[in-house]
């Protein structure tokens, strides 16, 4: 299979701390990367994306870093809030190829923010 085992990594932080969620991707041909947040019972919600010609992109309270050399992606969340508690997925796509619509997802990380 292409993703996910039974045991998701977990990250537990205090409200106000910065969070860093890491992801290793598998396909060196991937040129488009997305982070999604999924809350219980809901579909994945787009957070931020980055293309392979960039190594950093910032959004509101979030930053994505891309290291193509080691095929690593990270999501930084500043001043984490209880509402940020969710499962976070990274996804990769070979957008320049024929992978139409196909994202390959990482296993996900459970983020828990304590008040």
Partner 1 sequence: KAGVTQTPRYLIKTRGQQVTLSCSPISGHRSVSWYQQTPGQGLQFLFEYFSETQRNKGNFPGRFSGRQFSNSRSEMNVSTLELGDSALYLCASSGRTGNTIYFGEGSWLTVV
Give the footprint of partner 1 on this chain (CB under 8 A). Answer: 1-6, 32, 34, 36, 42-46, 49, 51, 89, 91, 93, 95-96, 98-105, 107-108
Q: Which CB atom, from 39 or from 55, has the smaller least distance to partner 1? A: 39
Shortest distance, position 86 Cβ to partner 1, whole Å:
14
Half-sphere exposure in the Cβ direction for 14 (13 Å, CA)? 1
Q: Which CB atom, from 52 or from 63, has the smaller least distance to partner 1? A: 52
Q: Quick check: helix, strand or coil at residue 38? A: strand
Please enumerate in sequence order all residues whose Cβ is within 8 A of that of 110, keeping only pairs 6 or more positions apart, or say none: 8, 9, 10, 11, 86, 87
Q: Which CB atom, from 7 or from 14, has the smaller least distance to partner 1? A: 7
């Amino acid at each position: 299979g292409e993703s996910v085992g039974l045991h998701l990594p977990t990250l537990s932080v205090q409200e106000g701390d910065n969070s860093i969620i890491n992801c290793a991707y598998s396909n060196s041909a991937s040129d488009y990367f997305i982070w999604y947040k999924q809350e219980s019972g809901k579909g994945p919600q787009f957070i931020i994306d980055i293309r392979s010609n960039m190594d950093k992109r910032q959004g509101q309270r979030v930053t994505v870093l891309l290291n193509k050399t080691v095929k690593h992606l990270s999501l930084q969340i500043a001043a984490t809030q209880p509402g940020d508690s969710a499962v976070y997925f990274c996804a990769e796509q070979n957008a320049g190829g024929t992978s139409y619509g196909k994202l390959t997802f990482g296993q996900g990380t459970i983020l828990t923010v304590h008040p």
